[in-house]
Structure 1
Amino acid sequence: MSLRHPDGLVNLRDLANHVASNLPEDKTVPIVLGFAGWGSALFGAINYWGGIENIPKLLMERGYTVILAPVGPLSSNWERACELYRHLTFGKFSVFVHETQAIEEHNDVEVSYGKYFDSDPEHSPRQSVISGRKRAILFSASPQDYVDWRWSETSKAHFICHSQGGNTVRYLISLMIRGAGDLHPEYFGSPGRDSWAITVTTLGTPHRGSTITDVVENFLSKSTIQTIQLLGRLFATVSFNGPDERVYDLQLDHWDICRVGNETFQDMRRRFESTSGPVAKWICSNNNAFYDNSIKGVYELHKKTSLTSKNTYYFSLSFHATVPFPSDWPPWTVEAIVSFPVPLVRFVREVLYSVPIVNIGVWIIDRILNGIINTAGWAILPRLLSIRDLVSWVTQEVLNRLLDETDYRITLPPPGRYLPRNDVMPLMIAFVYAMGGQDLTSEQKIILGPNLGNWYQNDGIVNTESMRGPDDSVVKNIAAFPISDVNDDSVRGVYWHLGVHDQMDHADEIGVFIEENTAQAAKDMYFNIATLITRLPHRKRQPSHL
């Protein structure tokens, strides 16, 4: 069997089919999904994993057990690692009831963030312990078998991680390897527990950071106060009710990003919009997802974590949703130029007419200028100017100046090397476009090292180059996977990169789709991942690299 197909989903399918034919399956080990803040469907219909579909339910119907762990969607990796650990060791779940298709939800989880924030109180949340969080959700055909289930050496788990979830789980496993010392003795006081994770599969994870943070900062670079006000209004709207009544829970109550006492909505909004309020404190700290997903933020993660556990299998999948920016002028170029509000021929004629001596040969000028349109004269234009250069000039020298003069506090991105595919989710088109032209800074190039690769291809949130794994030293091409002996020591502790799939954006990767074909591809991807990981053998506790 060859795992050399350019499409990563094909390699995943072939590897899954191979292990299905050769290894027994263990569906009793839970598959942990869900690293973006909600468990039950938004508005009763939109699932994080599947959109209008329900991937956890589909996996459950195939006999797998799935745990959805709702962690803070915009929180730092430390906060999310603490939340995830607590969910998996709490011993109780909200349960999806197949007969009613409903979730029996409970909000009784208490999460501690330890002493991590004590060293910098000015940029830290007000509370280090928060209660009333939603339980993780269990999808299982036999939920009675998971009463009092707690993640442990004897109750292991698989992890499928989308986006930042991959870095969160990496941090969590590193804490299980090393412990956290005095920072959090309750959760991470004992090292050497990384064998609790059998497999980790990452989908579109910014293992080396993402330029999406630079894109957003550039777009809003002239409007810091307005950005805080905008976030303040948005956060107030979704956080006014208590956690058990929120349509979407940011899980930032410990930052005081919540209603205080009998506060009115107007008072809460004013507090959130203040430059000295909790939203400004949170956004200006480095303790949030915006910083933690930046290239510099992930570099900081590298310095304080282990890259991998030698007890765990790792797989990564990369995606992009781009096409190259056209290099040739389109066939309608001449037609477009002729339709310019002030035709170029008329402009040149008026300039020449303004010169007295030229008026003598008016008829000659008309003959020459009219001939330009009908001959190969316009063929000169593509030789002098590329279409991308023209779009860049219009953006930088016309539109951005106009926006600045009319007091709009935004900056439009210039065109890049790539454009969004025509099936990209509309909300992501602008991000795909902007990231396709976002250059790396000098500092970022130093951080990333000499083998930069292509940082313009992206899926709308994460650069494709960043999705392979955290460092080349622990990333291998799936073509080298030793399929004859998956229990060999060399197989664990390495990110096996399955390849790149070029027809999914960041939302498609979790099944929030536009095209029906994409929806089926996403479902098949999760089925194949489940087939693969549930057949890989467990490993008893072994000492890991520090």
Structure 2
Amino acid sequence: MDLPLDNSDGLVNLHNLAKQLNSFPEDKTVPIVLVPGFSGWGSPLFGAVNYWGGVENIPQRLVERGYTVIVTPIGPVSTNWERACELYRQLTFGKFSSFNPSTSEIEEIHDVTVDYGNYFDSDSSGPSTAITSGRKRAILFSQSPKEYDDWKWSEDHKVHFICHSQGGNTVRYLISLMKLGARDVHSEYFGAEGRDTWTVSVTTVGTPHKGTTIIDVLQNFISNSTDQAIKLLARTFAVVSFQSPKQRAYDLQLDHWDICRQGRESFQEMRQRLESNDGPVSKWFKSNHNGFYDNSIKGVSDLNKRAIPTSTHVYYFSLSFHSTISFPCQWPPWTAEALNTFPIALVDFVRRIPLVNGIVDVVAKVGWPFILSLVKFHDVVRWATEAVANRLLREINYNVTVPPPGKYLPRKDVFPLMLPTVYGMGGLDLGDDQKEILGENLGDWYLNDGIVNTESMRGPDDSLVKSISGFPTSTLDGDGLRGVYWHFGVNDQMDHVDEIGVFIEEYTVRCPV
């Protein structure tokens, strides 16, 4: 019996489609390539925390079911161009770091050299060199690793991509480069055309296909202290990048930007160099050549000018999420109790006014409901934020700005570090330039998962997005199946890290049975 694909929860539709497709022959020898998003990593962080699964190990779970998985440790805060070059090089390198299923350990090898071509040649704000060496190999998870000796991505060795967050835009750019070629900027990697056929499918999870407003939220928060924020960022970069790549617990992979130790430089010397106003971190951050810009609405708009939205040879699927609840419309039931705790006893104060004392009790009983009907709770919170809290912060020289309340609040089970971003994005209005980029039929850009706006997750072009309810399950070779994004729908219980298995509460979401 066919299972419905029109559930309001996208995860239910995904589960039902998987059940229906069980009758089709499955080639588990085609690797699943997992592409991380912004700030992602490859091997477990500190040896324990997986990007894909948190304390669990999703690649290992897939291997136990007979699949082959490749985890790609590409630059966590880099541009989509840099990440596409790194991804291409890792998949065509012919060698992998290996996962040992008996010990659950990864033997990492750093011998990959990546060439970024002449993409940055005409831009003085680009990196200091176009070639970087000593990068990590991709990690192979397989029950038969010997079968992948000398394996290289090609027409004969195709792959499925599963992409989280920025990973979706990185893979989109890579497939476009494989199809159209880019001989003028990188003849070695992208000198040939028509290689988009090397990819079977792309699945995006929480990808900012149209950009995200979290960049604007962060900029607004530090608008009064940008220079201080850059110095703090530079100090953090110095800490994590002082050691050689092999010894780093978290590798930014920005050595080609000189964000690394130079020669026998001491840590203090490196820190001072990175924190200087004309240092490499300031140059990197203020340029358009970083992941912050590439994930913004303007940055993705620039990607649209360089890359095709889809390939007609590839199946595309997308999943959307949000982790919000609506901001209360009504005054909460504890309003009267809260008013009674106001530092000045308002009723007693009014009683002291001549000719008013006699009507105070009447007003106290019927007046508050009338007043509360005239003033919205949301407006009072906005007033308290803008007229009181932010003014106080400025007066005591706190160079931060608290975002005003918006349309949504975070769910109670949101990852704690994302509580401010869910709140901030839930109330941030799009700018006129952003509205012009996005065009008509904007949708709800306040709904978000803490990092990406839900409206942005469907696909890069609405004309190429179809509901999964229309996906034919009787055949996989029909006309019109490839080259469009089949959107599973929206799950309303998961934030951005929940999407990759990093659950704060064990039962944030349950797979349907």
Per the normalisation by structure 1, the TM-score is: 0.91
Q: Equivalent residue for 1:104?
A: 107
Q: Equivalent residue for 1:385?
A: 375
Task: Determine the C-alpha separation between the residues in 1 that align with 2:239 and 2:248.
Answer: 10
Task: Determine the C-alpha separation between the residues in 2 that align with 1:233 and 1:308.
Answer: 40
Q: Equivalent residue for 1:156?
A: 158
Task: Determine the C-alpha separation between the residues in 1 that align with 2:45 and 2:344.
Answer: 51
Q: Are the equivalent residues in 1 in contact too, given 2:325–2:408 (CA < 8 A)?
A: yes
Say if 2:46 is the partner of 1:56. no
CA positional deviation for 1:102: 0.7
Amino acid paired to 1:186: E
More helix by share: 1
Q: Equivalent residue for 2:392?
A: 402
Q: Equivalent residue for 1:280?
A: 282
> Which stretch of structure 1 is more off in the superposition, 265-274 or 49-58?
265-274
Task: Determine the C-alpha separation between the residues in 2 that align with 1:344 and 1:222.
Answer: 37
CA positional deviation for 1:346: 3.9
Task: Determine the C-alpha separation between the residues in 2 that align with 1:215 and 1:87.
Answer: 34
Q: Equivalent residue for 2:210?
A: 208
Say if 2:117 is the partner of 1:114. yes
Q: Secondary structure at the match of 2:473?
A: coil
Amino acid paired to 1:275: N
Task: Determine the C-alpha separation between the residues in 2 that align with 1:295 and 1:186.
Answer: 30
Q: Equivalent residue for 1:541?
A: none
- Taking the TM superposition and a 5 Å limit, the aligned residue runs for 1:234-273 are 234-273=236-275
Q: Are the equivalent residues in 2 in contact too, given 1:458–1:464 (CA < 8 A)?
A: yes
CA positional deviation for 1:228: 0.8
Task: Determine the C-alpha separation between the residues in 2 that align with 1:347 and 1:172.
Answer: 70
Say if 2:83 is the partner of 1:83. no
Q: Equivalent residue for 1:411?
A: 401
CA positional deviation for 1:49: 0.4
Q: Equivalent residue for 2:410?
A: 420
Task: Determine the C-alpha separation between the residues in 1 that align with 2:412 and 2:256.
Answer: 41
CA positional deviation for 1:347: 4.3
Q: Are the equivalent residues in 1 in contact too, given 2:42–2:74 (CA < 8 A)?
A: no
Cα deviation per residue 1:147-171 (whole Å; 9 max; x = unaligned)?
1110000000000000000000000
Task: Determine the C-alpha separation between the residues in 1 that align with 2:285 and 2:100.
Answer: 38
Q: Secondary structure at the match of 2:110?
A: coil
5+ residue gaps, structure 1, are 353-357, 529-546
CA positional deviation for 1:519: 6.5
Q: Are the equivalent residues in 1 in contact too, given 2:350–2:357 (CA < 8 A)?
A: no
Task: Determine the C-alpha separation between the residues in 1 that align with 2:178 and 2:440.
Answer: 32
Q: Secondary structure at the match of 1:79?
A: helix
Q: Are the equivalent residues in 1 in contact too, given 2:35–2:161 (CA < 8 A)?
A: no
Say if 2:27 is the partner of 1:26. yes
Q: Equivalent residue for 1:292?
A: 294
Task: Determine the C-alpha separation between the residues in 1 that align with 2:254 and 2:86.
Answer: 12
Q: Are the equivalent residues in 2 in contact too, given 1:34–1:49 (CA < 8 A)?
A: no
Amino acid paired to 2:504: I
CA positional deviation for 1:34: 3.3
Q: Equivalent residue for 2:332?
A: 330
Q: Equivalent residue for 1:512?
A: 502
5+ residue gaps, structure 2, are none
- Taking the TM superposition and a 5 Å limit, the aligned residue runs for 1:185-224 are 185-224=187-226
CA positional deviation for 1:370: 4.0
> Which stretch of structure 1 is more off in the superposition, 49-58 or 376-385?
376-385
Say if 2:452 is the partner of 1:450. no
Alignment partner for residue 14 of structure 1, among 13, 16, 26? 16
Q: CA RMSD in A?
A: 1.3
CA positional deviation for 1:213: 0.4
Q: Secondary structure at the match of 1:516?
A: coil
Amino acid paired to 1:398: V
Q: 1:289 to 1:437 in 2, by over 3 A?
A: same
Say if 2:149 is the partner of 1:143. no
Q: Are the equivalent residues in 1 in contact too, given 2:413–2:508 (CA < 8 A)?
A: no
Q: 1:457 to 1:483 in 2, by over 3 A?
A: same
Amino acid paired to 1:27: K
CA positional deviation for 1:172: 0.2
Q: Secondary structure at the match of 1:138?
A: strand
Task: Determine the C-alpha separation between the residues in 1 that align with 2:499 and 2:324.
Answer: 15
> Which stretch of structure 1 is more off in the superposition, 375-384 or 494-503?
375-384
Q: Equivalent residue for 1:227?
A: 229
CA positional deviation for 1:192: 0.3
**Residue correspondences, number:** 509
Q: Are the equivalent residues in 2 in contact too, given 1:511–1:519 (CA < 8 A)?
A: no
Q: Equivalent residue for 2:183?
A: 181
Task: Determine the C-alpha separation between the residues in 2 that align with 1:343 and 1:416.
Answer: 31
CA positional deviation for 1:371: 4.1
Q: Secondary structure at the match of 2:27?
A: coil
Amino acid paired to 1:169: V
Amino acid paired to 1:54: N
Amino acid paired to 1:321: S
Task: Determine the C-alpha separation between the residues in 2 that align with 1:480 and 1:232.
Answer: 49
Amino acid paired to 2:36: F
Task: Determine the C-alpha separation between the residues in 2 that align with 1:462 and 1:127.
Answer: 32
Q: 1:466 to 1:265 in 2, by over 3 A?
A: same
Q: Equivalent residue for 2:96?
A: 93
Alignment partner for residue 372 of structure 1, among 360, 363, 373? 363
CA positional deviation for 1:473: 1.5
Cα deviation per residue 1:348-371 (whole Å; 9 max; x = unaligned)?
456x3xxxxx3xx5xxx3343244
Task: Determine the C-alpha separation between the residues in 2 that align with 1:322 and 1:101.
Answer: 36
Q: 1:519 to 1:93 in 2, by over 3 A?
A: farther
Per the normalisation by structure 2, the TM-score is: 0.97
> Which stretch of structure 1 is more off in the superposition, 377-386 or 407-416?
377-386
Alignment partner for residue 68 of structure 1, among 52, 71, 92? 71
Q: Equivalent residue for 1:134?
A: 136
Q: Are the equivalent residues in 2 in contact too, given 1:34–1:48 (CA < 8 A)?
A: no
Say if 2:467 is the partner of 1:467. no
Q: Are the equivalent residues in 1 in contact too, given 2:42–2:51 (CA < 8 A)?
A: yes
Q: Secondary structure at the match of 2:507?
A: helix
